[in-house]
Structure 1
Amino acid sequence: MPSPPPPVPAPRSLSVSSLIFKCTDNEKKNFKDDIVTFNIGGHIYSTTYSTINENVDSQSLLALIISNRTTTSLDKNGHYFIDRDGTYFRYILNYFRDKKLFLPENFTELKQLCSEAKFYQIDRLVNEIENRLNTSNEQNKQLQIGLNFTLISNLNQGGKILTLIGPLKLIYLFHIEPIGRQFLKTISNFNDPTNISCQCTFPVDDKLISCQPFDQLQRIVLAKQARKMGMAVSYCDDYFYIPIERQIMLRDELAQLLLNKYNGKLLHTNITYEKKSNTDHDGSYTLVENWFIPNISIIKCLETNGIMNQDGNIYSNTSMTD
């Protein structure tokens, strides 16, 4: 009886691993050889030799390190060890990769980062950081120049504002009606409103701010101009009244506006308690606060009120006449 035919082997199926692209030994070697790893104060960073060489001068520290032209030590894993703050090196390495310096919002350590860039001798990055530092310093200087004023509020009437004492420019914080804006445009052409110091009070029911300049000559001149323009003036020319578009905001509303939008600073607070009579148990509390607001915030108020454009120029060309 003839023996059965030998079994035919089943067709071979392709395994997943056989479909994966495999590097040659030379490609693996080249890929491995292009990677360099740094240990910066305990922080491990890996990048490529080309990333370093394309972004630094051939005589800068990193270029010298990766070309073995320094005595830089290696850690136990064979990484170049540099005894610096490793938290800043991430920004330097990303600067190489992106060709641009990206920093987190409210980053406050530009000086430290600049020191690291100088250590690694990365001149382009040093220049960019120094430009940012100069801009930041100028902005900080601008925030230190501004207006000091006193805010008096009544705590027992829902925090109502009673009085503002300071430069006339403070009323730019409020939404002023067109006739009031025109008045301010007019006086800005013949006298710097910064020099017009006023006590501004707030009537209970009317949408008005009562302004009494402390300088007697200014008081007479401004009252005369206000009357000429059809604005209300007190009988004795002590006050002129700036009309506003809405009810006076409460003290807390104004404080939040100053703090959150206009970089204001609360410098000092004092609360006094007053009794109307010996039998009065409720009495009233008066809040007296000293505030500071930068000039750049006042300019923003001017723009909001349509008195100054973004170039810093007053819109009106009207001059005051007798």
Structure 2
Amino acid sequence: MTITAEQQELASTVRAVLAKHGDSAAMRRGLEGERGYDEQLWTLLCEQVGVAALAIPEEFGGVGVGLVESLLVVEELGRTLASPPMLGSAVLGVQAVLLAGNAEASARLLPEVAEGARTLAVCWAGASGWDSFGVRADGGKLSGTAHYVLDGTYADTLLVVTADGLFEVDGNAEGVTRTAVPPMDPTRRLTTIDFASVEARALGPVDIARLREIAWAAVAAEQLGAAERCLDMTVEYSKSRVQFGRPIGSFQALKHRMADMYVLVESARSLVYLAVSGLADGSAEAVDIAAARLHAIATLNSVVSETVQMHGGIAITWEHDAHLFFKRAHGDAQLFGTPAHPLARPA
């Protein structure tokens, strides 16, 4: 995928806003907040940049530029570890509604999502993961438990994926119980949501395979941003940390390791951008999405491990962000599951 000038300008604008208002200190303040992210930053991104409206068609109050632009924003957020409701609501939630093809629901829900005034949460996984549905539909009522829900603790609208299609539930509906789950990654909160014979509105059938591919591509974009930031942190530190009277970045062995990190990041970028552009224009093959997903996992795990090692003891202190990237890498590796089959194109 070739990034257009307009897309590059969007990414640069988001990066500038995050550099000024969403640095490490802001991210850590958000961790202590009620929602786990900096709410002022999210408002700023929605009102001044319009990030939540990017993939929403104009007829439903959005900008209508598409999925590529939304995932470029997810990539930039990955660099900061900020977890506003972009991935869970403005990407996955919006795409679930659009895939259901319900114009009435889109017109009712999406304009407020575009403004940042409504948050969607996709309730999907069973206890064993995203290969099973945690909730079942029976006569217009939902029962069961959805696990690992992004933005689930405070979402205004719950979008429940079942074997019978997509259902809409008000976040405050009777019979809905939300339980925050202590995650390994403190920068991303997850929720378990129980449904006890809850009245629901059917929105229509959903292409689960495509929804999963969108989720994988989005997480891969986030992992790419995180890996690039880890590389930048490591290179910067290697120039300032002095050992034996020289910056450690001047040692050949470390140069080689950082060069390997760079190759991993750039190869991941190629695969992720291929997957994202293919999803946007309908040309993506399942193997391309799977390859991007698996390579992004391997890249971030490898790069962040090198980051921790080359920073030394400081990397495992609470004050440094390296350990948070390490935890995000392991959390993202499990989020939305992974391809179950070996990568091979049909003959």
| Superposition TM-score tier, normalisation by shorter sequence | under 0.3
Q: TM-score normalized by structure 2?
A: 0.23
Q: TM-score normalized by structure 1?
A: 0.24
